[in-house]
Structure 1
Amino acid sequence: MTNDSQNLQIQERPSLWQKFETCLFKATAFISAILLALVIVLLLSGVVSRYVFHSPLTWSDELGGILFLWLTTFGAALATYRFSHMRMTAVVSRLGSEWEPFFTAFAITATTLFFALILYPAIDFAMEEAFITTSALEIPNAWRASALPVGFGLALIFGLGKMAEVIRRPKAIWAVLSVFALALVVWMIKPYLQGLGYLNLVIFFVLIVGVSVLASVPIAFTFALATLGYLALTTRVPVMTLVGRMDEGMSHLMLLAIPTFIFLGLLLEMTGMARAMVQFLASLLGHVKGGLSYVLIGAMYLVSGISGSKAADMAAIAPALFPEMTKRGAKEGELVALLSATGAQTETIPPSIVLITIGSVASVSIAALFTGGMLPALVLGIGLCVVVGWRNRHEDLSNIQRTPAKEALKLFLIALPALALPFVIRAAVVKGVATATEVSTIGIVYAMIAGLVIYRQFDWRKLYPMLVDTAVLSGAILIIIGAASGMAWALTQSGFSRELAQFMQTLPGGRTGFLIVSVIAFIVLGSLLEGIPAIVLFGPLLFPIARVMEVHDVHYAMIVILSMGLGLFAPPFGVGYYTACAIARVNPDEGIRPIWGYMLALLIGLVFVVAFPWISIGFL
C-alpha cells in the first residue's frame, strides 16, 4: 500500500468530534421519534377519552404543549445537522457551482451565529419560567421552557460541526469571515442607529432580510437575526423577549397538527394508499386525450386533503404517474409544470398546513377554513383542466386501450378505503369527534389499519425513519413560524402595523382596491418567503384591516393562500417550483415555458374567487 493510500484512509477516518456529533445526532433523533410517538398517542387518547368515555383529560393539552415544544426544538436541531432548513437558492444557483461553497458556508455560519447569540437569553428565559407553575400538572414551567436552551444548544453544536466541515475550502473561509465582519460592522454603528426611527425598519427588515434571503440564508434565521439585531441595537427591549415570542409562536397548540399530518402523509405513501387512488383514477380517464393529466389534477386534489404537505403530495403522485405519461409522449417540462400548478391549486384543500397556520395566527376558525377551502381549489382545478384539454387536443391515443369496466371496478374497490380517508377526516372535525389538531391521529390509525389489513403493505422498519423525518421537517417549519412571530411582534411594537393599516385603508377603490393590492402583495411574498412565514409575518397585520373593510375572514384567507400559492410555485423565484422539479427529477429550465399557461389559468381562477365571495363562504 502506498503512502498516499495510507494518508487517504487516515483522512477518511472520522475524527473524535465527528464521532461525538454522530452519536449526539442519533440520540437526539431517537428522543425526537419518541416525543412524536407520545404526542400522537396523547392526542388520540384525548379523542377516545372525551368522545367514547365522556371524560376529557384536563391535563392533556398542557402535557401536549410541553412535548410539542421539546419536539420542535429538537427537530430544529436535527434540521441544522442535516442542513435542511428552508432557504431560497434560486438566485444563488444562477451564479454557478463555483460559488456554492461560499454561500453554503455563509448560510451555515449565519445559522450558527444566531444560535450562539440566542443561547444565553434562552437560558435566562427558562430560569424566569421556573417561577411559574402550570395550572393542570402543577409543575414549574421551566420543564417546558428548558426545551429552548437545550434545543438551541444542540443546534449550536451541530452548526459548529457543519462549519468545521465546510471551512476547509478557501471560499468557505471568506464566507465565514464575511458573516462575522458584517455582524461587527452592524454592532459598531449601534450609536448611529438609535436616532433613525422608522429607517431602522428598512435597514433590518428590508435590507438585511432581503440580502440574507437572496444569499440563501435559511429563512427562519434571516428573520430571527434581523429581529435580534433590531431589538438589541435600536431598542431597550431585552433580547429575552424574542425568545418568549418565538416560544409563543411555535408552540401554539393548533400547530400540533403539522407534525402529525406530515407523518400521516408519509404513512400514506408507505402503505400504498396514495398509489391505489392514482391507479383507480387512471383507469377512469387513461383512455381520453390528456387523461393522465386530468388524473394528476384529481389525484393532487384528493391527496392534498389527506397529507397536508405539498412536498408529500407531489412525492406520492409523481412516481406513480410520470413514467406512464412519459411513455405516452408527454414532455418532462410539461409534466413538472402541471405538477407545480396543481401544487398551487390545492393549497386551500384541508387539512393543509397553511390553513392550520393561518387559522392559528389570524384567529380564524379552522373548521370554517376546512369547509371553505374545497370549492376555491375546484374552481382553479377546472381552469387547469381547460388548459390540459387545449394542449392535448391532438394527442394520439390509437395505441391506448380503455380499461375494462370489470378491472376499473376492481381498482375502485381497492382504492375505496383510501378514497374514504379524506371524508373520514373531515367528518370527524365537522361532527365534533376530534378537533383540527387531533383529527390527524384518527387518520393515522385508519391508515395503519388499512395498510396492515387491507393493503398488506406495511413495513415496520420504516416507522422509525419516518418519525425522525417528520421531526426534522416539523422543526424546520415551526422555527420559521417562531422567528416570523418574533419579527411580526417587533414590527407591531414599532408602530409599523398601525401605519400599514392606515395606508391600506386609504387605498383607492376601497374594499376592491385592498383585495387587489393583497393579491399582488401575497404573490410576491409567496415567491420570496414561502407560504407559512409570509402568513405568520403579515397575517396578524392584514386580517384586522380586512375585517375593517368588511371582508369575511374565510374569504380573505382563501385569497391570501391562493395568491401565495401562485408565487410559491411560479418560476424563477418560487421555491415550490424547484421542489417539484427535484421530486420529478427534471431540469428546472424545462418547465419554465409550459408553466405560464397553467399560471394564467390559476390567476383567472383567483380572480373569480376574489370577485365572488360565495365560492369561499357559500357552504359555511
Structure 2
Amino acid sequence: MTEKPGTLHARAAQLATRLETALAMVAAAVLAVMLAVVLTSVVLRYLFHTGVIGTEDLGIWLNVALIALAAPLALSGPLAMRLDLPFGPSAKKLAGIIADAFSLLAALVLIFGSTRVVNLIGGTSPALGLPEWVRFAVTGAGGGLLAIILVLRRIGERQVLPLAASATLASAVYYACLHVTVTTALPASIAIALAAAVGLAAAAPLAHAFIAAAMIAIPFGGNLGTETIVTTTVSGMSHFLLLAIPFFLLTGAALSASGAARHLVAFAASLVGHRRGGLAQTVLATGTLFSGASGSSVANAVFSATTFHPELVRHGYPPARSGAIIAASSVLDNIIPPSIAFLILAAATDLSVGALLLGGLFAGLVMAAALSIAIYLTTRNLPGSRPVARGERRRSLLAAVPAFGLGVIVVAGIRIGIVTTTEAAALAAIYTLALAAFSKTRRTALFSVFRQTATEAAAIGLLIGSAGPFAFQLAVDGVSGMIASTVAAFGGSPAAVLAFSVIVLLGAGLVLDIGAAILLLGPLLLPLATGSGIDPIAFGVIIVTTLMIGGLTPPVGMLVLVVAGVTEVPPAALFRAVLPYLAALLAAIAILCTCTLLI
C-alpha cells in the first residue's frame, strides 16, 4: 500500500532522501576539489619546480570534511560494517533499538565533544591561516547530520517508538557517563572492548560502536573525555597518506565505469577460461588483475558478484560454490598493490609504503597460486567456457593495456620514488577518469562515480578515526607490555612471536574489520616482531594477509556477507562453501611465515 505523500512518515522519508542527495553532491564536490589540489601540487612540483604552501594541510582538512559530510550516508550497506546475527523477531527489534542507541550516542559525542574542543582550542593553521577549530566544527556538524538522517529514516520507516527508546537510552547513557564513576580493577580498554562488542552484536555500525564504547568507558577509569575522543578521532583521520584511499577507490570506480574492467575480464578468460573449471579460474585471474586497480576487496567483491555469479550458475556451478569462489578471490584486492590495507598499516606504523606494496605483490601471487589449486580441485569436473579463438589472446591483451598502465603509475612511481603514494593515487585516479570520460562504452555518469567514492571513502575514514580513542586507551593501559610478557612466556623466539601473532590476528579477524584490526594491533605487534629479529616489512605483510582471511570467516566475514547480499545466496551456505578456499589461504599464510623466518 502506497503511503500518502502528505503524511509525516512520507515527508520524513522524502526529507531524508533530499538531505542525503544534497550531502552526496557536496561530498562529491569536496572529493573533486581534493583531487584537484593534489594534482595541482604534482604539476607545480614536477613541471615548474615550485609549489604552494599548505597544500598538504588543505588536503588533510578537505579529507576530514569529506568524512564528516559523507559518513552519515553509510548508515546502511556493506561499508556500515554491521554484524548481522540470526536473531528472532523480538530479539532483532531489541537489537535494532540498541544499535540505533549506539549511533545516536556516537552522534552526541561528536556534537558535544566538538563543541568543547571549539571552545577550548585556539590558534590558526600556519599554512592555511584558518582557525584550528574549523576541523572540529565540521566533525561536530557531521555528528549532527548523522543524528538527523537516522531520525528521519526511522520516522519514514514508521519506527517512531523504537526511535524514542533509542534516543532515551543514548541520552541516559551519555548523561550517566559524565556523572557516574565505577570502581574496578580492570583496565578501561576492557570496558571499551566489551561495549564495542555489545554494539557490534546489536548490528551497530562498527565506527559508531567504537566512538560510543570510548564514551561508555569513561566511568570505568577511561582517560578519555568527550573532547579527547573527538581530538583523537580527528587526529586519526589527519594524515596526508590517507588521501590515497579515496583516490584509489575513485580509480577502481572509474575503471569499472570506463569499461576497461571488462577488457581485464576478457583477457583473463583468454588465459584460463577454456580449461576445465576455467570459468572459475577466470574469476580468480580477473581478481588478480583487477587488484592492481581498485585496492578494495569490497569493491571487487561487488564487481565480481555482479559480473560472474550469474554466468557461473548458468554454466552449472552451484550458487554457493560460485559465491565462495568470488569471495575468496576478492581477498587479493587488499593485498596486491595498490592496497588500502597497506596504506592504513603504513599510516599506523610508519613503515615504507613502497616496500609494503612490493611485499604485498609477492604475497598476493602466492595466495593466488594456492587459490588456483583449490579451485582446480573443487571444479575440475565442471566444463570450461569455450575454446580460445586464434588471435583472441593478443587482441584481448592489447585492449587491456590501458588498465595495465595503472601498475606503472602506482607501483613503479612509488617504489622508484618519483611520486609519493598520495600523488600516485591521484595520478591513477585522473588517468582512469580520463579513460572513463573518453570511453564509448561508459554507462555511468562521472558524477555518480564521485558520489559513490565519497560515501565509501568517508565510511573507511570514519572507521580509521574511530579506532583512535581505542588505540589511545590501549597505550595508556600498557597492553603492549602485557602482550610482550605473554610472548616471553613462550620463549620470545622469532617463530614463537610469529605463531602468537598469527593466532591473535586470526582471532581478531573473526570479529573486527581489517582496517580497525590493523590500527589496533599493528602498533602493538610490530615492536614485538622487530624486537625478536623479524623483518618489519615482512611482518607487515603477514599482518595484512592474515587479517584479510577474516573477510571469509564468521561471524563478520565481510566479503562473504557482501557477496551474499549481491547474489541472494544465504550467508551460512557461503560460509560452508568457502572452507576449501579458506584452507588454501591458510596454507599460503604458512608459506609466507616460513619465508619471513628465513629472511
TM class by shorter chain equals over 0.9
Aligned with 2:73 (options 74, 78, 96): 78
Q: CA deviation at 1:106?
A: 2.5
Aligned residue in 2 for 1:405 = 390
1:529 maps to: 512
Please point out which of 551, 555, 567 is paired with 2:534.
551
CA distance in 2, matches of 1:250, 1:126: 18
| SS of residue matched to 1:550 | coil
Letter in 2 for 1:530: D
Query: Aligned in 2, Cα 1:477/1:120: closer, same or farther, shift over 3 Å?
Result: same
1:275 is displaced (CA, Å) by: 1.0
Q: 1:134 aligns with which of 118, 125, 134?
A: 125
Using the TM superposition, give the Cα deviation of residue 355 of structure 1 relative to its aligned residue in structure 2, in angstroms: 0.7
**3-state DSSP of counterpart to 1:556:** helix
CA pair 474-236 structure 1, distance change in 2 beyond 3 A? closer
Alpha-carbon separation, structure 2, partners of 1:277 and 1:185: 56
Partners of 1:581 and 1:456 in 2: how far apart? 32
**Which amino acid in the other structure matches residue 312 of structure 2?**
M
Query: Within the alignment, does 1:316 sit opposite 2:303 as a pair?
Result: yes
Match for residue 440 of structure 2? 456
Work out which of the residue numbers 167, 181, 196 in structure 1 matches 2:184.
196
Q: 2:138 aligns with which of 133, 147, 172?
A: 147
Q: CA deviation digits over 1:294-319, x for unaligned, max 9?
A: 22112111111211111211222333
- Once the 2 structures are TM-superposed, how far is the Cα of residue 36 of structure 1 from its aligned partner? 0.3
Residue from 109, 120, 144 that aligns with 1:117: 109
Map Cα deviations across residues 229-255 of structure 1 (whole Å, 9 max, x no partner): 223552565321111110110121111
In structure 1, how many angstroms separate the alpha carbons of the residues matched to 2:23 and 2:418? 34
- For residue 459 of structure 2, the aligned residue among 462, 476, 484 is 476
Cα distance in structure 2, aligned partners of 1:236 and 1:290: 56
Instruction: Give the corresponding residue for 1:388.
Output: 375
CA distance in 2: counterparts of 1:236 and 1:34, whole angstroms: 37
Cα distance in 2 between the residues matched to 1:115 and 1:448: 35
Pairing 1:443–2:428 present: yes
Partner Cα separation in structure 2 for residue 123 and residue 509 of structure 1: 47
Write the distance in 2 (CA, Å) between the matches of 1:180 and 1:128.
24
Q: CA deviation at 1:527?
A: 2.1
Does the CA contact (< 8 Å) of 1:255 and 1:357 recur in 2?
Answer: yes
Is 1:36–2:31 an aligned residue pair? yes
1:185 offset after TM fit, Å?
A: 7.0
Q: What pairs up with 1:548-587 in 2 under 5 angstroms?
A: 548-587=531-570
Instruction: Provide the C-alpha distance between the structure 1 equivalents of 2:60 and 2:565, rounded to a whole number of angstroms.
Output: 34
Match among 90, 101, 112 for residue 84 of structure 2 = 90
Shift of 1:290: 1.6
CA distance in structure 1 between the partners assigned to 2:504 and 2:479 by the alignment: 16
1:244 is matched with which residue? 231
Task: Give unmatched runs, 5+ long, in structure 2.
Answer: none
Secondary structure of the structure 2 residue equivalent to 1:33: helix
The aligned counterpart of 1:593 is: 576
Structure 2 vs 1, CA of residues 546 and 201 (structure 1 numbering), >3 Å: closer, same or farther?
same
Query: Residues 406 and 250 of structure 1: is their aligned pair in 2 closer, same or farther, counting only changes over 3 Å?
Result: same
Q: Distance in 2 between matches of 1:437 and 1:239?
A: 31
8 Å contact from structure 1 (residues 345, 381) kept in 2 = yes
SS across alignment from 1:395? coil
Q: Is the 8 A contact 1:308 1:350 kept in 2?
A: yes
Aligned to 1:508, what secondary structure does the other structure show?
coil
**SS of residue matched to 2:119:** helix
Q: Is the 8 A contact 1:167 1:173 kept in 2?
A: no
Q: Can you list the C-alpha shifts for 1:254-274, whole angstroms capped at 9, x where unaligned?
A: 111111111111111111111
Pairing 1:14–2:10 present:
yes
Residue of structure 1 aligned with 2:346, choices 359, 362, 365: 359
Change (3 A) 1:184 1:51: closer
1:104 matched to which residue of 2? 96
Question: Is residue 45 of structure 2 the alignment partner of residue 50 of structure 1?
Answer: yes
For structure 1, which segment, 594-603 or 46-55, has the greater mean C-alpha deviation from structure 2 after superposition?
46-55
**Residue in 2 aligned with 1:610?**
593
Residue type matched to 1:66 in 2?
A: W
Q: Which of 384, 393, 401 does residue 416 from structure 1 map onto?
A: 401
Retained in 1: the 8 A contact 2:184–2:220?
Answer: no
Q: Distance in 2 between matches of 1:85 and 1:146?
A: 25
CA distance in 2, matches of 1:109, 1:162: 14
Q: TM-score, normalised by structure 1?
A: 0.90
Moved more, 515-524 or 425-434: 425-434
| 8 Å Cα contact 1:88/1:575 also seen in 2 | no
Q: What CA distance in whole angstroms lies between the structure 2 residues aligned with 1:235 and 1:322?
A: 48
Number of equivalenced pairs: 599
Counterpart position of 2:151: 160
Per-residue deviation at 1:327? 2.8
Q: Could you list the runs of 5+ residues in structure 1 that have no partner in the other structure? A: none
1:211 and 2:203 correspond: no
Please list the CA deviations of residues 156-200 of structure 1 after superposition, one character each: whole Å capped at 9, or x if unmatched: 222332343456376666666665666677677x33x2x323354
Q: Percent identity?
A: 25
Match of 2:22 in 1: 27
1:368-379 map, 5 Å: 368-379=355-366
Q: For the structure 1 residues 181 and 125, does the alpha-carbon distance in structure 2 shift closer, same or farther, using more than 3 Å as the test?
A: closer
Greater mean alpha carbon deviation, residues 515-524 or residues 167-176? 167-176
What is the rounded CA distance, in whole Å, between the counterparts of 2:413 and 2:187 in structure 1? 50
Written as runs of structure 1 = structure 2, the 5 A alignment for 1:323-362 is 323-362=310-349
Q: Tell me: CA distance 1:227–1:59, structure 2 relative to 1, closer, same or farther (3 Å).
A: same
Post-superposition offset of 1:347 = 2.9
Conserved? CA contact 2:560–2:575, under 8 Å: no
The alignment partner of 1:256 has SS state of helix
Conserved 8 A contact 1:78-1:472: yes
Farther-moved stretch of structure 1 (601-610 vs 206-215):
206-215
Output the amino acid matched with 1:592: F
Shift of 1:10: 4.3
SS at match of 1:613: helix
Amino acid corresponding to residue 109 of structure 1 in structure 2: A
Distance change in 2, residues 1:122/1:232 (3 Å): farther
For residues 222 and 561 of structure 2, what CA distance do their matches in structure 1 show?
Answer: 39
Distance change >3 Å, CA 279–CA 123, structure 1 → 2: same
Could you tell me how far apart the structure 1 residues matched to 2:597 and 2:46 are?
33
1:433 equivalent in structure 2: 418
User: Normalising by the residue count of structure 2, what TM-score does the alignment of the two structures yield?
Assistant: 0.92
CA distance in structure 1 between the aligned counterparts of 2:537 and 2:318, rounded to whole angstroms: 38
Q: Does the aligned pair in 1 maintain the 2:106–2:211 contact within 8 Å?
A: yes
Instruction: Show CA shifts across 1:339-381 (max 9, x none).
Output: 1211224432111111100000011111111111111111111
> Would you say the 8 A contact 1:501–1:541 is kept in 2?
no
Which moved further from structure 2: 417-426 or 289-298? 417-426
Kindly provide the amino acid, as one letter, of the partner of residue 520 in structure 1. Answer: I
Task: Tell me how large the CA RMSD over aligned residues is.
Answer: 2.7
Aligned CA distance change for structure 1 residues 433 and 160 (closer, same or farther; 3 Å): same
